[in-house]
Amino acid sequence: MVEREELRDVLAKFASGVTVVTSVDERGFHGVTVSAFCSLSLEPPLVLVCVANYSQSRDLLAAADRFAVNILSRGQTFLAEQFSGQTPLADPTFSRVPHRLSAGGLPLIDDAVAWLECHRWAVHDGGDHTIFIGQVETLGLGEQDDPLIHFDRTFTELSWG
């Protein structure tokens, strides 16, 4: 039997990028930090994100038809912490979050490495998480090249050379 904490310790050694998944509803903007993000398919263009079932963000994302994935840059640790609940959460207007609106009205975080705007394609059970699959509608690259990394339960940066 695999013990939960042992699994967490092993998986913490897998470095991943850090994203903030944003959506909008009648109450305003929402965002959640997600490190479980990956490309799923090129034809059609699909990505997936996994969100914990106990998270309020899971319910907000489940109700949204569209969402954006913002790939954070190395200088955006505060935003990763803010959207993971480690610091005070963003208000529904994102007044403390540098952002702009996509053509589709979704908040895109300024200075992110890249972003993808998605239409919800499918939702699947993933144990204690929910798997959201999005079909990419629009995307773009930011001016930053260095991504924020999550490794060994902490945010860090890539080391070159």
Report pLDDT digits (tens) over 13-60.
888 999 999 999 988 999 999 989 999 999 999 999 999 998 888 898
Please determine, for residue 150, whether its predicted confidence score (pLDDT) is greater than 60. Answer: yes
Name the strand (E) or helix (H) holding 34: strand 28-34
Handedness of CA 59, 72, 91, 28 (dihedral sign): negative
Q: Which of 117, 51, 134, 39 is nearest to 85 (CA)?
A: 51
Q: Residue 135: exposed, middle, or buried by beta-carbon count in 10 A (0-12, 13-18, 19+)?
A: middle
Query: What is the Cα 141 distance to its own chain's centre?
Result: 16
Digit-coded pLDDT (tens) for 92-139: 889 889 999 998 999 999 999 999 999 999 999 999 999 999 999 999
Cα separation of 114 and 71, whole Å? 5
